[in-house]
Every structure is written in C-alpha cells, then in structure tokens.
Amino acid sequence: MTEKEKDFLIEINKDNVQEIQEENNPNILYFSATWCRPCQYLKPAMQKLAKAYAGKVSIGTVQVDNEHALVKKYGIQKIPNLVFCKGDKEVHRYIGADGNEVEKGIKEHFNI
C-alpha cells in the first residue's frame, strides 16, 4: 500500500479507545454511520486531516451502529459528531460536516 492509498483514519471501538486516548497525542472521535449522508460527505476531509496531522493528532471513526457503549458514554444524539479530546477529557465538540471547521477546531483546541 502506498502512502497515498493508506487510510490514516483509525477504526475506534470499545476495545481500543482507551489505548488511543492514553497516547500523548490529542484525539478526535468521529462518530459516524455508513447510512449517514453528511458523515459520508465529511469522510474525505477527515481522511485528509488524519493524514495531515498524523503523529500530532489521532483521528478515528466510531461506527454508531456498532459501538453503543461509546455512543452512550459521550451522549451522542446527532451525527456526524466529533469529540475533541486530550487524553480521555473532552475539550470541544463539533456537530456537522464542514472539514474546515474541524481543522479550525484542531488548531484552536490542540494548539497545532
């Protein structure tokens, strides 16, 4: 797989979320679903951001249909829903499908 083909988005689930949040990098939990059109619209922007900030910010998708415990833990009611965390502490939340707003949030809340 070439660097261009590599998907930098991490699949986040109940089994790996703690490990990801214990890393030194800030992280974004991208709550999404395959049937959600706005989520699918946002996905290419999220892949681009995951690649651009690789090694600085961990960005991963949480499939709401499969990860009920995480949906409940973070109180997700609407998608796409992005939870910005430092460790396991939420510092910002963005609901919507605008990649520019997500990048603005990265710069503002993670000081990158």
Among residues 9, 10, 12, 39, which one is catalytic?
39
Q: How many CB atoms lie within 10 A of CB 67?
A: 22
Active site (annotated) includes residue 39:
yes
Q: Which candidate, 30, 88, 24, places its Cα nearest to that of 60?
A: 30
Cα separation of 23 and 26, whole Å? 8
**Distance, C-alpha 4 to centroid of its chain:** 20
Q: Which of 10, 17, 36, 64 is catalytic?
A: 36
Q: Distance between CA atoms of 95 and 32, rounded to whole angstroms?
A: 11
- The Cα–Cα gap between 29 and 111 comes to 18
Catalytic residues: 36, 39
